[in-house]
Amino acid sequence: MPQYRLSRPSCRAEWDVYHRIRQDVLLESRKYAMEHPDEEDEPHHYPLLLWRDNDPIGTIRIDKLDDTAAALRLVAIDPVLQGQGHGRALLTEAERFARDLGCAKAVVYSTTEAIGYYEAGGFTEDDWAECEIAGVAQMVKPLG
């Protein structure tokens, strides 16, 4: 049984993998710019690699929005490993991380293509932010 964990990239090589996975998954769909901001020192923003055993296979950024909510952003699994259950493991680890930050719920902006993925993970559509983005659903999951 593979062991999964999330951790912040800790060296330049890990940051390179982090950005490569995001570019491979998100750049193609125009959701990630090559001129990405340096995320290494942003407070309340947690750029994380998903590790399966000793291999980095995915990325996520968790933003602590307030004392109750964590936003899951830029979720990506290495394209050659998609469809094998790693995305579900990523959500499980992200929810654990958010609970450890003291958050009671996770929120996400989902593309229409990813709504089923988040619904399968227990998220429901709910307007958690005032702004509306065309083609994007706002989704929430309690972290009880």
Q: What is the CATH number of domain 4-104?
A: 3.40.630.30
Tokens of 16: 């390179």
Q: What backbone phi and psi angles, to 5 degrees, belong to 103?
A: -85, 140
pLDDT at residue 103 in the model? 95
Give the closest residue to 3 by CA, choosing from 47, 48, 46, 50: 50
How many angstroms separate the Cα of 143 from the Cα of each of 91, 100, 108? Answer: 11, 10, 13
So what's the pLDDT on residue 43? 67
Q: Where are the alpha helices (DSSP H) in 12-85?
A: 12-22
User: What pTM does this model have?
Assistant: 0.85
Q: What percent of the chain has pLDDT over 70?
A: 87
In tens, the pLDDT along 51-68 reads: 999 999 999 999 999 878
List pLDDT tens digits, range 78-127.
Answer: 999 999 999 999 999 999 999 999 999 999 988 888 899 999 999 999 88
Q: What angle do CA 27, 131, 111 make, to 5 degrees?
A: 35
Do residues 141 and 124 lie in contact, with contact meaning Cβ atoms separated by under 8 Å?
A: yes
